């Protein structure tokens, strides 16, 4: 597939060229590159390449890097989630100290939809059934009277020898039983080991989960990873000699270069070109230096997002868009308030909205 040369970021052996975009008014003589909504809508594309229970690969095409990076940063730091914020330790005789146990509890991903509760204005706000979800763990380790005397397996010798995330018991309050009737609050993974116990040791804690964002604490981050890279573009400028075909193929990631078994013709697999890491290995070989041109498509972003917690992977981009729209709404309100100011002399300050 060929692309307009203006969309390509050149990849050379020692440097990168054409990094900055040039599609703005005044850069090219006699060309009107004024931003157009119709043109933007025509060029904008979002296509899902792979979707699983926890991750998604999708293409975002036709936007500037600043917009793509804004979505990535919002997914990491500003899409809200619900996590355990306050831990009240009534009893803990395990070898794990209170502070470490509390930190581990806070990192447990929960299945609570953030849209169903409200965020506290400040940490001092009163806890209510609308902004706080309460859990409890009450566990005591005992010897198993039915275990063999010579058994060394903790699963056989003891009862409750591990504190697991599945031991979190939800304590509904107010209208929460109705609100969460279809999906009771619980950890997304029931098998997270929080502490190990031996006979006579017990843990009794009360947990308060609240709504927050990743920029306040990493535990609120709704994604395990959110990254993107630019689509690789490989152009073979002249035929590769048949006896060098396999060597040329090994310079790229598997599946990127194909060789016709009959004619030995070397070509780029347009479907698998996205797998290439653009290592520039091919440019190290003098026999290939003038035979290939490497680049990346400036406005073609390959996103990989691994969701963690209440959000399904396909919701992450739409949630990031909702957050961005709220930001733009505030900027617009502030700009309109600024425009409506009566004062015309002196410095103008942004109005509160």
Condensed to tens digits (0 to 9), the pLDDT of residues 160-172 reads 999 999 999 999 9
DSSP 7: G
Is the predicted pLDDT of residue 153 greater than 90, yes or no? no
Is the predicted pLDDT of residue 1 greater than 90, yes or no? no
CATH number for the domain running over 5-77+224-306: 3.30.1360.10
How does DSSP assign 38-107, residue by residue? HHHHHH-EEEEEEE-SSEEEEEEESS-HHHHHHHHHHHHHTS-EEEEEEEEEEEE-SSS-HHHHHHHHHT
Mean pLDDT of the chain: 91
How does DSSP assign 99-132, residue by residue? HHHHHHHHT--B---GGGSPPPSSTTSPP-TTT-
Strand-pair partners of 164: 193
Strand stretches in the chain, DSSP E = 8-11, 16-17, 45-51, 55-61, 81-92, 133-140, 142-143, 158-159, 162-164, 169-170, 193-196, 202-212, 223-236, 257-259, 266-268, 292-307
Is the predicted pLDDT of residue 347 greater than 80, yes or no? no
Do residues 16 and 10 lie in contact, with contact meaning Cβ atoms separated by under 8 Å? yes
Hey, what CATH class is 80-221 in? mainly beta
Average of per-residue pLDDT across 27-54: 91
b (16+ CB within 10 A) / e for 225-257: ebebebbbbbebeeebeeeebeebbebbbeebb
pLDDT tens readout for residues 96-148: 999 999 999 999 999 999 999 999 988 888 999 999 999 999 999 999 998 88
pLDDT tens readout for residues 64-106: 999 999 999 999 999 999 999 999 999 999 999 999 999 999 9
Phi-psi region of 337 (alpha: psi -120 to 50; beta: other; left: phi over 0): alpha
Is the predicted pLDDT of residue 2 greater than 60, yes or no? yes
Do residues 233 and 106 lie in contact, with contact meaning Cβ atoms separated by under 8 Å? no
Share of the chain above pLDDT 90, in %: 80
User: Which segments of the chain belong to CATH 2.170.120.12?
Assistant: 80-221
pLDDT tens readout for residues 217-240: 999 999 999 999 999 999 999 999
User: Which segments of the chain belong to CATH 3.30.1360.10?
Assistant: 5-77+224-306
> What is the token pair recorded at 265?
């013709």
Is the predicted pLDDT of residue 352 greater than 90, yes or no? no
Strands 45-51, 55-61: pairing kind: antiparallel
Cα 256 to Cα 250: distance, rounded to the nearest angstrom: 9
Is the predicted pLDDT of residue 289 greater than 90, yes or no? no
Residue 24: the pLDDT is 83
Residue 23: the pLDDT is 83
For the packed helices 65-77 and 316-339, what is the interaxial angle rounded to 10 degrees?
Answer: 110
Is the predicted pLDDT of residue 158 greater than 60, yes or no? yes
DSSP 193: E
Is the predicted pLDDT of residue 351 greater than 60, yes or no? no
Do residues 199 and 141 lie in contact, with contact meaning Cβ atoms separated by under 8 Å? yes
Residue 287: the pLDDT is 93
pLDDT tens readout for residues 44-62: 999 999 999 999 999 999 9
Residue 147: the pLDDT is 86
Residue 338: the pLDDT is 83
Residue 325: the pLDDT is 96
């Amino acid at each position: 597939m060929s692309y307009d040369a203006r969309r390509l970021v050149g990849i050379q052996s020692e440097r990168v060229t054409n990094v900055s975009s040039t599609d703005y008014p005044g850069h090219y003589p006699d060309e009107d590159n004024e931003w157009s909504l119709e043109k933007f809508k025509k060029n904008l594309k979002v296509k899902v390449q792979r979707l699983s229970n926890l991750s998604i690969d999708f293409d975002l095409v036709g936007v500037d890097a600043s917009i793509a990076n804004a979505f990535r940063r919002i997914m990491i730091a500003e899409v809200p989630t619900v996590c355990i914020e306050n831990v009240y330790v009534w009893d803990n005789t395990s070898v794990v100290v209170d502070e470490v146990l509390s930190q581990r509890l806070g990192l447990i991903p929960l299945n609570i939809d953030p849209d169903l509760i409200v965020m506290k204005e400040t940490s001092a706000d009163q806890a209510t059934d609308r902004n706080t979800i309460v859990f409890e763990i009450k566990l005591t380790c005992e010897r198993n009277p039915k275990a063999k005397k010579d058994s060394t397996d903790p699963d056989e010798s003891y009862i409750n020898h591990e504190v697991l995330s599945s031991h979190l018991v939800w304590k509904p309050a107010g209208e929460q039983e109705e609100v969460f009737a279809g999906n009771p609050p619980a950890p997304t993974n029931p098998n997270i080991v929080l502490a190990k116990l031996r006979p006579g040791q017990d843990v009794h804690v009360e947990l308060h989960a609240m709504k927050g964002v990743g920029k306040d604490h990493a535990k609120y981050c709704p994604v395990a990873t959110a990254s993107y890279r630019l689509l690789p573009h490989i152009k073979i400028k002249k035929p590769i000699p048949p006896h060098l075909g396999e060597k040329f193929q090994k310079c790229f990631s598997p599946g990127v270069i194909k060789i016709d078994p009959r004619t030995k013709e070397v070509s780029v697999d347009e479907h698998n070109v996205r797998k290439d890491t653009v290592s520039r290995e091919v440019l190290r070989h003098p026999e290939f230096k003038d035979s290939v041109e490497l680049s990346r498509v400036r406005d073609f972003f390959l996103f990989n997002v691994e969701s963690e917690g209440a959000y399904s992977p396909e919701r992450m981009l739409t949630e990031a868009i909702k957050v961005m729209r709220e930001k733009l709404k505030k900027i617009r309100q502030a700009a309109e308030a600024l425009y409506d100011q009566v004062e015309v002399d002196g410095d103008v300050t942004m109005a509160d909205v």
